[in-house]
Amino acid sequence: MYVITGVTGNIGSQVADILLARGDKVRVIGRNADSLRRFVDRGAEAAVGNLKDSAFLTRAFSGATAVFAMIPPDYTAQDFRAYQNEVGTSIATAIRNTWTTYVVNLSSQGADLPAGTGPITGLHDQEERLNRLNGVNVLHLRCTYFMENLLMNIPLIKEKGFAASAVRPDQKFAMIATRDIATVVAKHLVKRDFRGKSLRDLLGQRDLSLSEAFSIIGREIGRPELNYVQLDYEEAARDYREMGISADVSRSFIEMNKALNEGRFAVKRPRTANNSTPTSIEEFATIFAETYRAPGRQKAA
Ligand SMILES: NC(=O)c1ccc[n+]([C@@H]2O[C@H](COP(=O)([O-])OP(=O)(O)OC[C@H]3O[C@@H](n4cnc5c(N)ncnc54)[C@H](OP(=O)(O)O)[C@@H]3O)[C@@H](O)[C@H]2O)c1
């Protein structure tokens, strides 16, 4: 039995799809029974509850051959690192309570740093927490920036005709499609080919800047003139707040953007076959275009 957290999200959903297509036994965790139905209809067992609840999670992890663990974002958290640590502690407690022996943990580039990287600091804490569990094999997947983050620009592109964030337009960094992460997660859950505490970097197909990424996307969506514009940090923080993101999460995102601009993580990492994955930005641009053309997403949040 493979247990999947964050299963209605970017990565968990695709991990569950891969395992269910193989005919594996899967237990999916989410807070809403209706949103788990599409997995249950294909044979998954549903565990409905909150990751903060370690008693619930202990039941959900019971009998697991391997767990895919992640700390989902809560954009409304008043103290984001405290929220991450609450969920992280609950996950670690359930792993210990159930004697789960294989855990694939979703982490991030920059998780080696204890401070100065915004939301990634909570993933640093979680790596350390899971590393303290005796007798558990844990593989931390240090993923880079998700290409799916670029989708957040769709309302802005439709309303104002450009894409924007606080990241420098010319900063080249690693970007990855979440389907590539899901493929790696599913493989490690099934093979359980890791021992003790280990790390794997996942850096996507190649490094590129946001200007390059949006120029490729612009051509695919029929807007070859599409520009990427850098916002100053105050402007970007204001935009986050207008999107309903809490003051602390906005501050945290700005800290992460600064760290990326200053080259503190996800830049100039040596590429190998083990840390590179297949999906190119050109392929992702077709996924972007499908979402762009789909009904809805007409207004900025
Ligand atoms: N974005 C990036 O560039 C990047 C890069 C590296 C690492 N990461 C890390 O990747 C993770 C996010 O992965 P993702 O994008 O696949 O996730 P996601 O799409 O945000 O989905 C997470 C899912 O978790 C569920 N969830 C949220 N809070 C929950 C709670 N308290 N209890 C139970 N379920 C809860 C939600 O489903 P329900 O509402 O259905 O419960 C949600 O669909 C984060 O840890 C992030 O730091 C992100």
CATH code of the domain covering residue 32 = 3.40.50.720
* 193-236 tens-digit pLDDT: 999 999 999 999 999 999 999 999 999 999 999 999 999 999 99
CB of 76 shorter than 6 A to ligand 1: no
Q: What angle do CA 175, 178, 182 make, to 5 degrees?
A: 135
> What letter does residue 114 receive in the DSSP assignment?
S
Residue 146 alpha carbon, nearest atom of ligand 1? 3
CA-based nearest residue to 283, from 229, 228, 194, 213: 213
Averaged over 174-180, what is the pLDDT?
Answer: 98
- In this prediction, residue 300 carries a pLDDT of 39
CB of 54 shorter than 6 A to ligand 1: no
Alpha carbon nearest to ligand 1 atom 15, residue: 10
Read off the pTM. 0.97
Please state the domain count of the chain.
Answer: 1
Residue 8 alpha carbon, nearest atom of ligand 1? 43
89 inside domain:
yes
Averaged over 71-80, what is the pLDDT?
Answer: 97
Residue 225 alpha carbon to ligand 1 centre in Å: 33
Report helix angle 120-131 to 80-98, nearest 10.
20
Q: Using CA atoms, how far apart are residues 294 and 195, in angstroms rounded to an integer?
A: 44
CB of 204 shorter than 6 A to ligand 1: no
CB of 2 closer than 8 Å to CB of 69 = no
Does pLDDT of 301 surpass 90?
no
168 inside domain:
no
Alpha carbon nearest to ligand 1 atom 44, residue: 72
Residue whose CB lies within 8 A of the most ligand 1 atoms, among 8, 53, 147, for a mutation test:
8
127 inside domain:
yes
Q: Mean of the per-residue pLDDT values for the chain?
A: 96
* 87-140 tens-digit pLDDT: 999 999 999 999 999 999 999 999 999 999 999 999 999 999 999 999 999 999
Residue whose CB lies within 8 A of the most ligand 1 atoms, among 5, 11, 130, 203, for a mutation test:
11
CB of 49 closer than 8 Å to CB of 35 = no
> What letter does residue 148 receive in the DSSP assignment?
G
- What are 194's two structure tokens? 């890791």
44 inside domain:
yes
301 inside domain:
no
150 inside domain:
no
- What are 157's two structure tokens? 């592109």
Residue 31 alpha carbon, nearest atom of ligand 1? 41
β-bridge pairing 102-108 and 66-69: parallel
CA-based nearest residue to 88, from 70, 100, 104, 76: 70
Residue 94 alpha carbon to ligand 1 centre in Å: 18
With cut-offs at 50, 70 and 90, classify the pLDDT of residue 253.
Answer: very high
Alpha carbon nearest to ligand 1 atom 11, residue: 72
Q: Can you give the residue range of the structural domain that contains 36? A: 2-144+177-202
Averaged over 6-12, what is the pLDDT?
Answer: 97
Residue 222 alpha carbon to ligand 1 centre in Å: 31
